[in-house]
Amino acid sequence: DPDNVVLCLLAADEEEAGDAALQIHFTLIQAFCCENDINILRVSNPARLAQLLLPATGPDSPADLHCVLVTNPHASQWKDPALSQLMCFCRESRYMDQWVPVINLPER
């Protein structure tokens, strides 16, 4: 349900930048998100994203986090200050013609 999606995270590292299938996948997801007014962020370190989102799993467990949809089932999404800041960051990035801003997650 795109009405409950508030953010789409697309994660790929430098080795995957040349993966044509992944880039086509990302292009289709970005088109869907733009059509449904869903904010998009690219994340440069999928392994670190996995550590942040799935801390209970071990490093050997496979997790495909190339695309993560963040949902908010509540209509009052702006009550969360962190989410509000993130939406402002996405909006400001679009004003600077950076339609898909990139966040570099550093190693721990």
Residue 91 lies in a domain: yes
Residue 108 lies in a domain: no
- Would you give per-residue pLDDT tens digits along the chain (108 residues)? 788 888 899 988 878 878 899 889 999 999 999 899 888 998 888 888 888 888 766 655 556 788 888 887 665 555 678 878 888 888 888 888 877 888 888 877
CATH code where residue 91 lies: 3.30.1330.30
Question: For residues 87 and 6, what is the distance between their CA atoms, to the nearest angstrom?
Answer: 8
Helices (H) and strands (E) in the chain, counts: 3, 4
Residue 6 lies in a domain: yes
Residue 66 lies in a domain: yes
Token pair for 85:
């800041």
Query: pTM of the prediction?
Result: 0.78
Print the domain residue range for 19: 2-103
* Number of domains present in the structure of the chain: 1
Question: For residues 66 and 74, what is the distance between their CA atoms, to the nearest angstrom?
Answer: 25
From residue 69, alpha-carbon distances to 29, 33, 97 in Å are 10, 10, 23
| Pairing mode of beta strands 67-71, 5-11 | antiparallel
